[in-house]
Amino acid sequence: MRTERFLPRAFRRGTLILMMFVMLTGFLSAETASSGAGASTAQNTPTEPEELEILRKAFSDITFTATYDKTLEDWQIKATFKVGSQKSETFYWCESRLLPESELKNKSLYLSIFEDYPYGEEIQDPSTYTQEQIEEYRYAGLSSTRKNEPYVPMFFFDFIYSSSSRKTVEQHISTITFLGHKVTVNDRLVKPLAAVEKRLLELKKTNKTVADFLDKDLDHLEGYNWREISDVDRKSFHSTAIAIDFLPPKLNRHMYWRWTKDQKGEKWMLVPLSSRWMPPYDLINVFEEEGFIWGGKWLVWDNMHFEYRPELLEYHRWKNKKSE
């Protein structure tokens, strides 16, 4: 009896344990199933913008953390770096415009920060321009176009170069000697410029064109200057202290589309390359390889102008790799 009583009780207990086991495994498998569902939800969440890697490569001291904002359906990018103390700011990716939340409503005013630059390519000879190209260049040079077309937003640059105001940027600039000339630049440029200088001084020993340019055709450099771009009322990259102009002793050749336009009118884009003042290609290549772009490759050419834009050069490498 006892046994009989015991058995069923033991059996009942066994059943209870078994039931608990089944419930538990059921619960666990439900958990697995729901985490499986979680994984598939995660698959539906867009993946981090690929171009974020470009920024990580171009600015290796800056941490970029992406969090998906489901309400605004866009990535929030938190950028952090140390400049004295830790500094961070959050932008919305907004198709690589990097805008503060308050500017999302104005996104059509802005281009991507990766506006294209023909890295490593020679500039086109105006004698080969088609009528269509001439018209495109003329349109690009109109003040109305330049004022009303979307432009590169400065929010991200103002964060990394502390250039949202004259007061803040002036706390982050230094006057250095570069290639024998004094120039005031953003502190973030000191290292890349030292790399350019080292290579150019080496190149000068064997390259007469570069030596002649640096010794005879360069009078002075102009770097930081808190100013707006003349015809568009927007802050120039000289205000962020990441641009340097190379100026010759005499301004007797064409070097800036705007000055040429003032002289020659609508045909400014047709000035032959041989009549334009320009630094030697070997020098431009060194700058490009160290993260600087040259203004002579823009539609609206500015042949004296170099600008530190490592993200554009990384973008170019990334695009080439993608198309391989």
Interaction site with Zn ion (CB under 5 A) = 243, 245, 305
By beta-carbon proximity to Zn ion, the closer residue of 75 and 161 is 161
Residue nearest to Zn ion (CB): 305
Polymer length in residues for the chain: 324
Query: Measuring CA to CA, which residue among 65, 66, 64, 73 is closest to residue 44?
Result: 73
- Spatial separation of the C-alpha atoms in residues 276 and 253, rounded to whole Å: 6
Q: How far is the CB of 222 from Zn ion (least distance, A)?
A: 7
| Residue 223 Cβ vs Zn ion, minimum distance, rounded to whole Å | 9
CA distance 235 to 239: 6
d(CA 251, CA 80): 43
Nearest approach, Cβ of 179 to Zn ion (angstroms)?
Answer: 16
Cβ closer to Zn ion: 68 or 226?
Answer: 226
245 versus 314: smaller Cβ distance to Zn ion: 245
Q: For the CB of residue 145, give the shortest distance to Zn ion in the complex, in Å.
A: 20
Q: CA-CA distance, 114 to 98, in Å (whole number)?
A: 11
Cβ closer to Zn ion: 160 or 183? Answer: 183
Q: Retrieve residue 142's tokens.
A: 């109109």
Q: Toward Zn ion, which CB reaches closer, 91 or 157?
A: 157
Q: Give the C-alpha separation, 282 to 27, whole Å.
A: 69
Least Å from the CB of residue 242 to Zn ion: 10
Please say which residue, 55 or 185, places its beta carbon nearer to Zn ion. 185
Q: Could you tell me the two tokens for 23?
A: 């419930």
CB 167, min distance to Zn ion, A: 22
Distance set, CA 267 to CA 110, 126, 138, 295 (Å): 28, 11, 8, 19
